[in-house]
């Protein structure tokens, strides 16, 4: 991972933290400006003002993707995520 990718990864983590996303549940990778998020998309308790319904979780994922795409140096965003209830059912 080059220095540019390391800087992007730090900005990705900051953006996720601002949205109260539990980054301990996600694998965050950056390769040549391409961001990969893999794992369980969950927020800290009290961090989801829109609620936990499927439409609210889908809006959160879209919002995160848009925000990450707008970060300097990001060329693409690949999201391989599940939402918290699905993760719990699968034992993740």
Give the phi and the psi of residue 87 in degrees, each rounded to 5: -65, -45
pTM of the model: 0.83
Query: What is the per-residue pLDDT for 73?
Result: 96
Counting the structural domains of the chain, the total is: 1
Are 12 and 71 spatial neighbours (Cβ–Cβ below 8 Å)? yes
* CATH number of the domain encompassing residue 20: 3.30.70.1350
- β-pair partners for 40: 82
Q: How far separated are the first and last CA of the chain, in Å rounded?
A: 27
Going residue by residue through the chain (92 aa), what tens digit of pLDDT does each one get? 688 999 999 999 999 999 889 899 899 999 999 999 999 988 887 666 565 677 778 888 999 999 999 999 999 999 999 876 667 545 44
Query: What is the per-residue pLDDT for 1?
Result: 65
Query: What is the per-residue pLDDT for 82?
Result: 84
Query: What is the per-residue pLDDT for 56?
Result: 78
Q: For residue 22, what are the domain limits?
A: 3-90
């Amino acid at each position: 991972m080059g220095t540019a990718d390391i800087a992007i990864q730090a900005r990705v983590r900051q953006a996720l933290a601002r949205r109260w996303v539990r980054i301990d549940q996600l694998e965050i990778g950056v390769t040549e400006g391409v961001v990969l998020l893999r794992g369980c998309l969950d927020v800290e308790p009290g961090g989801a003002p829109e609620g936990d319904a499927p439409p609210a979780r889908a809006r959160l994922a879209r919002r995160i993707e848009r925000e990450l795409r707008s970060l300097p140096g990001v060329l693409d965003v690949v999201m391989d995520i599940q939402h918290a209830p699905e993760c719990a059912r699968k034992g993740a």
